Structure formats: C-alpha cells, structure tokens
C-alpha cells in the first residue's frame, strides 16, 4: 500500500507535461526506493527488545540467590515463530518479556533452547497473533573482510531501536566471554553497548551474525563481536530435537609445532606441518587412537599449519578446532596424523564433550550449586562460577591456589577439586575459624576423586575423627559425633535451610 501511494504521487508529478522517458525513470527510482524502505521497515519490525529478571546463585553462600536484577537485550525473529538472542540475555532468568518495535506492550516469553557455550538462545512468545505481522529473517553467509554491516538492537540509554554501521575487520577463534568457549567469532568496528546483546548483524536483509559480549579481556576498545553464521546454523540444527548436544570435543590437546628441531624430532618432513598431541583423555573418542607425541596433520580436508591454523578461504585463517566444531554429535571426523614419521588416517566419532577435561569445571548456568556443610565447614566443588565470584578482576583477586588448578588435567583418579570455602564458627571447629579457600586432597587418607565421592566419604564415615588433609600435609581434624550433634544448631544459627544441596544422596 505504501509503495502504491508513492507510485501514484510520481504519476501525478509526471502528468501531463513531463517526457515519457523521464517519467519512467522517476517511477523506477521511486519504486526501488519504496521497496528498499519497506525491506528496512521489515527488518526493524523483526528486531525485538527482551526484558529479563535474573537471579543467579551466590557461590559464596550456595544456598542463597543473589539479589534479582533487571536486564535487557535484543533479539531477532526467525522461522518457526522463534526469536534468536544471546544465552547470557536469558541465563538464570526467572521472568522473560519481549517488546516489539514501536509497541509499548510487553509480552511474556519462554526460553525454548539455550547453547551457553556459543552464547545463543531461542525464545518464543505464546501470545496468539504475536508473530503474524513480523517477517522472519533468514541466516545469510559470513561477510567478506572490510564489508560494511549494520547492527540492530536496543542499547541502554534509550527505548527506541538503534542502528549502527561498521566494517568487518577480523574473523578468528575467540574466547566467548559468557561461558569461556573457544569458537569462531567476527569482529567489527561498530560501537556495541549493553542492551545490544542478541541483536542481529545484517547484510542484504539477512542475519550474518548475532551480537555478543566483548571478549573476556574486558578492554575498553571501540570494537564489537558477533557469533558468525556457521556457529548459528550449528546451534539451530542442534535445537531441532530440543536436546542440547553442543559442540564435539575429541578429547585430545595439542601445542603448536613451529620449531624446525621439534618437527625433525617427531619425524616430519620439511613440507609437513601439524600440531603435537600432548594429552589424550581417558574415555574420549581419541583414546586408543592417538598417543602423546603424535602429530595431527589434517582434519577432514583441512591442512593444519605449523601454528595450528587452517585455511577456510583465501582471506580467512582460524584455529583447526573450528573444523571439529562444525561437526554434530555422531558424525565421523577424518583425521590424518603422523606417528614417528609414518602417516596414518583414523575416523573418530564426534561425541559430546566430557563434563570437564580440566579439574576446574567451566561456568554453568541455570543450575543449583552443590555444597556440603560438615562440622560447620562449608565444602564446595571448585568451578569457574566460584572463581568469578571474586569479581570482574577475578584473574587477579581470586586465591592463587584456586587459579593454578585451572591448568591441571582431570583423570579417573581425580576428576574434581573440593574446597573448604569457609568455616562457620562453632565449638566443633574451634581452632580453624580463620581457615578458608583451602583445597582438600585427602579424607582419612583416601584421595578425593570428586565432590560426590567426597560427600559420600563423610556421609558413610565410621571413624571417630575425620581428617581433612591437603597435598602439603596440613590437616583439619573434626570429631565425627560432635559434627553430627552440632549440625542442626549451626544451621539454625546461620539460617541455612539444609546441610547439603538437594542433589546429593538422591536415589
């Protein structure tokens, strides 16, 4: 209707004194401009504002929630009456609402699917007719370097839709700030502020990226980052059955092999390049296939350079991990490797990543923290949620002994670290009131494997005393009967609802 009105005005302007050729040109230009305006209007209508109430657990006092906070983000309508946004926009959310462009009403929404590692989420609105006047945007292809893109969203500081432009300056693997995953990401020079998160990056009326948090370095630069189309498509396909499988991990770790001496030592020819296998995890797809000191030469058809990169196009290099990331669970991955100079091939089945290949688990969301209080001592498993509780500068402010644990591999004998986080002062723990952030390696001489086994050791203890010991020999000794007898009084005194999290000891 808008286009018809514009064409009619053009005809009135032309009739009857203008040349026919000029009138035809005016009609064409008017129609083209009108079509472009309509396309832009459709994009604007398809970008929504998302309001959330988030209440994350307090990992310092894991039986409590932090104060609820109101946040906002952006999203875009895609096929199937779905809205694509960031995972961090809806993480730990107790209430989600969506607001259309130029519409004051807020509609209650629900989360359909979340991929925290890729910082992507899908939500929907059940209100009848909500999507009837909205056009679903399609997923396009990754822009070329130096190509101009448009960023749509609702940054803080205003209520209306914001559109900024920028140039694609870089595409490479980045550490995603939300959950710490290492995935492909795009970088643009458009200003992106809080509230823009989850908004689309647009080229030719298609989504070519989803704005996400800046990388975890926290530097104040005039740069923005987005989730690229390949990662978006992977998540959308993963969401089809409603089960979050994530990105596969074959269960080996490598280092760059750019030293000529090292290449020769591991049997590579001068024209061969690859990465050196330094760790193979038990129970992983790589177990029994790779050995330490093997050299990975190719993933599928991608040759691996000496610095660990692969060539996705003439203008794009990125970490070889991307070739694995783009597979789905259950698919075969062809790996070419060299062992003592002999080239071999193997087909590995892509599997879900184990809970953690590190002794320190990655940050988790939408989950209740684990804890166990024994003898007034609060024990918790060490994870990134706890470490980040020390604030935005956690890499400097968190205890050094906990930070160092991030560099240790897990094994069947030790899958998790248990920390005596704090002591709730009472008679039963007299002498230890100032002990905190203390790693427990042994309980009555038995090595701690993980938090569940640690909790069972306490629950099933028959010894008179329980001796907690670290690897340096320092000990905490608690009388078992005193611990049991004082438990309820300690819980009452410190207003704690239960001695342990509800998931422990459940059948």
Write out the catalytic residue numbers: 88, 119, 197
d(CA 372, CA 240): 38
67 burial (CB, 10 Å; 0-12 / 13-18 / 19+) is exposed
Instruction: Write the CB contacts of 344 (distance below 8 Å, at least 6 apart in sequence).
Output: 336, 337, 338
What is d(CA 102, CA 133) in angstroms, rounded to the nearest whole number?
Answer: 13
DSSP 3-state of 218: coil
The b/e string for 313-326 (b: 16+ C-beta within 10 A; e otherwise) is eeebebbbbbbbbb
Question: What DSSP state is assigned to residue 241?
Answer: G
Query: Are residues 72 and 197 in contact, defined by beta-carbon separation less than 8 angstroms?
Result: no
Burial 419-447 (b: 16+ CB within 10 A, else e): bbbbbbebebbeebeebebbbbbbbeeee
- How far apart CA 429 and CA 3 sit, in angstroms, is 79
Cβ 308 vs Cβ 297: under 8 Å: no
Counting Cβ atoms within 10 Å, is residue 259 exposed (0-12), middle (13-18) or buried (19+)?
exposed
SS3 386: helix
Task: List beta partners, residue 166.
Answer: 149
* Structure letter (DSSP) for residue 405: G
CA-CA distance, 441 to 445, in Å (whole number)?
9
Distance CA 472, CA 401 (A): 12
List Cα–Cα distances, 321 to 226, 304, 339, in angstroms. 18, 10, 20
């Amino acid at each position: 209707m808008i286009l018809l009105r514009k064409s009619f005005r053009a005809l009135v302007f032309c009739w009857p004194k203008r040349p026919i050729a000029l009138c035809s040109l005016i009609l064409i230009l008017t129609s083209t401009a009108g079509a472009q305006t309509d396309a832009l209007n459709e994009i604007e209508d398809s970008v929504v504002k998302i309001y959330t109430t988030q209440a994350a657990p307090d990992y310092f006092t894991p039986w409590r929630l932090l104060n609820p906070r109101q946040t906002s983000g952006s999203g875009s309508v895609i096929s199937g009456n779905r809205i694509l946004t960031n995972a961090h926009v809806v993480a730990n959310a107790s209430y989600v609402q969506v607001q259309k462009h130029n519409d004051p009403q807020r509609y209650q929404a629900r989360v359909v699917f979340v991929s925290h590692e890729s910082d992507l989420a899908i939500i929907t609105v059940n209100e009848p007719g909500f999507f009837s006047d909205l056009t679903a945007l399609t997923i396009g292809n990754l822009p070329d370097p130096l190509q101009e893109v448009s960023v749509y969203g609702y940054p803080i500081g205003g209520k209306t839709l914001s559109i900024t432009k920028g140039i694609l300056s870089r595409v490479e693997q980045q550490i995603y700030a939300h959950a710490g995953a290492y995935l492909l990401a795009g970088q643009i020079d458009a200003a992106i502020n809080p509230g823009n998160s989850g908004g689309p990056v647009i080229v030719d009326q298609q989504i070519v990226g989803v704005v996400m948090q800046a990388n975890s370095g926290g530097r104040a630069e005039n740069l923005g980052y987005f989730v690229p189309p390949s990662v978006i498509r992977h998540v959308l396909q993963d969401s089809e059955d409603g089960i979050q499988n994530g990105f596969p991990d074959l269960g080996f770790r490598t280092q760059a092999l750019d030293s000529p001496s090292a290449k020769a030592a591991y049997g590579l020819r001068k024209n061969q390049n690859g990465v050196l296998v330094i760790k193979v995890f038990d129970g992983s797809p790589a177990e029994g296939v790779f050995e330490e000191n093997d050299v990975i030469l190719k993933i599928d058809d991608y040759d691996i350079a000496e610095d660990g990169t692969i060539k996705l196009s003439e203008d794009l290099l990125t970490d070889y991990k991307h070739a694995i990331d783009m597979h789905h669970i259950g698919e075969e991955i062809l790996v070419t490797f060299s062992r003592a100079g002999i080239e071999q091939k193997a087909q590995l089945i892509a599997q879900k990543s184990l809970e953690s290949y590190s002794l320190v688990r990655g940050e988790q969301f939408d989950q209740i923290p684990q804890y166990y209080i024994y003898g007034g001592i609060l024990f918790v498993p060490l994870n990134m949620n706890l470490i980040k509780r020390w604030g935005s500068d956690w890499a400097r402010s968190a205890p050094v002994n906990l930070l160092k644990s991030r560099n240790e591999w897990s094994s069947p004998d030790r899958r998790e670290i248990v920390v005596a986080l704090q002591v709730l002062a009472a008679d039963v723990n007299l002498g230890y009131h100032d002990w905190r952030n203390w790693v427990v390696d042994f309980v009555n001489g038995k090595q701690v494997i993980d938090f569940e086994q640690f909790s069972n050791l306490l629950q099933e203890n028959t010894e008179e005393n329980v001796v907690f010991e670290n690897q340096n020999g320092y000990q905490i000794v608690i009388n078992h009967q005193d611990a049991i007898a004082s438990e309820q009084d300690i819980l009452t005194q410190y207003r704690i609802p239960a001695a342990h999290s509800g998931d422990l000891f459940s059948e």
